[in-house]
Amino acid sequence: MTTAPSNSPPKGHEVVQGYLKTLDASPGVYRMLDEKGAVLYVGKARNLKARVSSYARPTGHSARIARMIRETVTMMFLTTRTETEALLLEQNLIKQLKPRYNVLLRDDKSFPNILVSKEHGFPPIKKHRGAKKEKGDYYGPFASAGAVNRTLNQLQKVFLLRNCSDATFESRTRPCLLYQIKRCSGPCVGLVSETEYGGLVRDAEKFLQGRSTKVQEKLAAEMQVASAEMEFERAAALRDRLKALTFIQSSQAVNPAGVAEADIVALHMDGGQACVQVFFIRANQNWGNRDYYPRTGSGADAAEVMQAFLGQFYDTKDPPRQILLSDDIEDSDLMVEALSEKAGRKVELLVPQRGEKKELVAGALRNARESLARKMSESATQTKLLRGLAEAFDLEAPPARIEVYDNSHIQGAHAVGGMIVAGADGFLKSQYRKFNIKDAELTPGDDFGMMREMLTRRFKRLLKEDPDRQTEAWPDLLLIDGGAGQVSAVRGIMSELGVEDVPMVGVAKGVDRDAGKEEFHRTGQRPFALRRGDPVLYFVQRLRDEAHRFAIGAHRAKRSKAVGATPLDDVPGIGATRKRALLAHFGSAKAVGRADLADLKAVEGISEKIAVTIYDYFHEKG
């Protein structure tokens, strides 16, 4: 890594000029930093010396690049073995450092898949998100949980596969409601054989692989046979399944015949803002779309936005065989090499000029244009609300980041704190955080104590990670659910942490706890209210309600997990399959804990080594 020469000028292109004699033609990554040491820009280069020399010229730059050069005080360099390595390192550093002048993908959530599990004789079909650790076949990605749920709902109608947990399956003694409404074939109580159920699973997988025509033909033939044999009830059931299958296909809107597996990525830019629309085509079926609004780095052009988006988007996702683009990128050869290496097979980047692929991109581009228009309209409204909030609460400027805190518990049990974040782009859900309350000495129901723990953990981490407040992670306003007492307590907590300059407002229900009569409390000032119907009042209510919703959701998830937990969950080497086998054999976790070594070894799937581990775990604890 190279540091600035001691005689380098303080700023600008002359600073850049001073580095040229220390660089060679190696590929690598460079960083431009301002006088506070904040990273302004991260870039990659096939040839570091040639690339950096372009910044040493005093003229000929776009307004964005000229501003960036003027603010540059020092640079850092890291050479790589290959150009592809430089591309991957660049995108990783951008996501990590979030430089002001880079294009940044701000929403990078994982996508759900459909999983046909293979860990059971009667495998369920279910939604899956995250690491693919469970044995089975995965189909996706789907653009959203809603897209998966809609598909699963229809697949249940067509193929009658179960979606219950293995524990529920093992404990059933009579069919559940899903069987009654013809959404499940009832394998839990032996109403379908393992062979017949396996046939339903194979048909479902054929459909998910794009071979739905064969499934339709099979169902139609079975319906004709049932009708000919006067089995009218069975024929009607098959007819209903055939209708449901047809409905799935018609509701997918886009079912390209000539594109089996591709992501369609279309970019529309307007007024310095960008929308990227991504459609997922798998098995010749449309599995949904999602829009993204990358930060454009103060004026990047379409090629740079598209290239940055692709690099960051596929950093944590498996690329398909084809990616159809609305705009070409500069280093398409490097991107193809990087994506192919990640996928372990060839990946194509195409900017189609005619035919079905061109039409698919045009459709995605139309969606991007309409989405950005809606987003800009919503942003204008949000900006107006933030200005109104600043005026109502006497803030120096409209807040760029608002943090709202709440907690949820039942008499102190399963206590969870929640933090939601809002700003110019509305609710920033990727920034939400939940806090499992860990202090065992808290009095049950001590809301002040929970708030103390939550804020202490939040701001201690913030002080450690960004003591100079150079990132956007610091809030401009804290909203607290409560009145003068809560505000005073929070002010004390923040003073102890040495953070006394973040404005905070307590939101308390007014007379008769009536929504619309909220009172607002600030340190050292009299409480006040906003008039009924004031858009700012509704805005604050939405913020508070969202915090309440998030905290309650986190609490319920924690409580549900605790209800389904058993001591077997903590035994090393015991996963879902072995846990199920042990519970089926002994009847309860308590009985497993009392079992001797010989009985444990008798359980199917429990080796002598695992039996010893289980025995030692319970007897060392007991």
Whether 559 has a pLDDT exceeding 70, the answer reads: no
Instruction: Please choose, from the candidates 190, 187, 127, the residue with its C-alpha nearest in 3D space to the C-alpha of residue 159.
Output: 187
**In a shared domain, residues 289 and 201:** no
**In a shared domain, residues 349 and 422:** no
Which of 148-157, 302-311, 547-556: highest mean pLDDT?
A: 302-311
> Which tokens belong to 42?
């991260």
Instruction: Please choose, from the candidates 43, 41, 30, 40, the residue with its C-alpha nearest in 3D space to the C-alpha of residue 3.
Output: 30
Q: Is residue 380 a part of any domain in this protein?
A: no
**In a shared domain, residues 493 and 582:** no
How far does the chain reach from its first CA to its final CA, in angstroms? 56
Dihedral over alpha carbons 8, 10, 12, 13 (to 10 degrees): -20
Find out whether 142 and 283 touch, Cβ atoms under 8 Å: no
Whether 542 has a pLDDT exceeding 70, the answer reads: yes
Q: Is residue 540 a part of any domain in this protein?
A: yes
Find out whether 160 and 218 touch, Cβ atoms under 8 Å: no
pLDDT given at position 372: 92
**In a shared domain, residues 554 and 407:** yes
Q: What average pLDDT does this structure show over 583-592? A: 80
Lowest mean pLDDT, pick from 99-103, 129-133, 333-337, 513-517: 513-517
- Beta-bridged to residue 508, according to DSSP, are 519
**In a shared domain, residues 509 and 542:** yes
Share of the chain above pLDDT 90, in %: 33
Q: What average pLDDT does this structure show over 167-176? A: 86
pLDDT tens digits for range 207-221: 788 776 667 777 778
Domain stop point among 195, 226, 251: 251
Whether 592 has a pLDDT exceeding 80, the answer reads: yes
pLDDT given at position 9: 47
Find out whether 388 and 530 touch, Cβ atoms under 8 Å: no
Q: Is residue 191 a part of any domain in this protein?
A: yes
Instruction: Please choose, from the candidates 420, 413, 426, the residue with its C-alpha nearest in 3D space to the C-alpha of residue 383.
Output: 426
0.85 exceeded by pTM? no
pLDDT grade for 154, boundaries at 50, 70 and 90: confident
pLDDT grade for 269, boundaries at 50, 70 and 90: very high
Q: Is residue 388 a part of any domain in this protein?
A: no
Instruction: Please choose, from the candidates 277, 306, 261, 270, the residue with its C-alpha nearest in 3D space to the C-alpha of residue 364.
Output: 277
Whether 72 has a pLDDT exceeding 70, the answer reads: yes
Find out whether 269 and 327 touch, Cβ atoms under 8 Å: no
pLDDT tens digits for range 287-326: 888 999 998 887 788 999 999 999 999 988 889 999 999 9
pLDDT given at position 622: 42
pLDDT tens digits for range 78-111: 999 999 999 999 999 998 899 999 999 877 677 8
Q: Is residue 217 a part of any domain in this protein?
A: yes
Domain stop point among 545, 562, 579: 562
Q: What average pLDDT does this structure show over 241-265? A: 72
**In a shared domain, residues 512 and 558:** yes
**In a shared domain, residues 557 and 571:** no
Within 10 angstroms of residue 567's Cβ, the number of other Cβ atoms is 14
Find out whether 263 and 280 touch, Cβ atoms under 8 Å: yes
**In a shared domain, residues 407 and 555:** yes
pLDDT given at position 8: 47
Q: What is the rounded distance in angstroms from the CA atom of residue 397 to the CA atom of residue 399?
A: 6
Whether 10 has a pLDDT exceeding 80, the answer reads: no
Q: What is the mean pLDDT of the chain?
A: 85
Whether 4 has a pLDDT exceeding 70, the answer reads: no
CATH of the domain at 68: 3.40.1440.10
Q: What is the rounded distance in angstroms from the CA atom of residue 133 to the CA atom of residue 324?
A: 30
**In a shared domain, residues 117 and 193:** yes
Whether 249 has a pLDDT exceeding 70, the answer reads: no
pLDDT grade for 409, boundaries at 50, 70 and 90: low
CATH of the domain at 431: 3.30.420.340
**In a shared domain, residues 129 and 272:** no
Write out 72-101 in H/E/C secondary structure: CCEEEEEECCCHHHHHHHHHHHHHHHCCCC
**In a shared domain, residues 225 and 170:** yes
Instruction: Please choose, from the candidates 306, 287, 281, the residue with its C-alpha nearest in 3D space to the C-alpha of residue 296.
Output: 306
Scan for tokens 């089975």, then name that residue: 136
Q: What average pLDDT does this structure show over 198-205? A: 86
pLDDT given at position 283: 82
Q: H-type helices in 177-257, by residue range?
A: 177-180, 194-208, 212-228, 232-251
**In a shared domain, residues 317 and 343:** yes
Q: Is residue 103 a part of any domain in this protein?
A: no
Domain stop point among 97, 121, 138: 97
CATH of the domain at 584: 1.10.150.20
Single-letter code of the amino acid located at 86: A
Domain ranges, residue 301: 261-373
Whether 275 has a pLDDT exceeding 90, the answer reads: yes
Q: What is the rounded distance in angstroms from the CA atom of residue 165 to the CA atom of residue 174?
A: 15
Q: What average pLDDT does this structure show over 428-457? A: 79
Q: What average pLDDT does this structure show over 514-536? A: 82
pLDDT grade for 182, boundaries at 50, 70 and 90: confident
Q: What average pLDDT does this structure show over 39-58? A: 92
Q: Is residue 391 a part of any domain in this protein?
A: no
Which of 236-245, 360-369, 374-383, 458-467: highest mean pLDDT?
A: 360-369
pLDDT given at position 410: 57
Q: Is residue 108 a part of any domain in this protein?
A: no
Number of domains in the chain: 5
pLDDT grade for 557, boundaries at 50, 70 and 90: confident
Find out whether 118 and 137 touch, Cβ atoms under 8 Å: yes
Q: Report, in angstroms and rounded to the nearest whole number, the Rg of the chain calculated over CA atoms.
A: 29
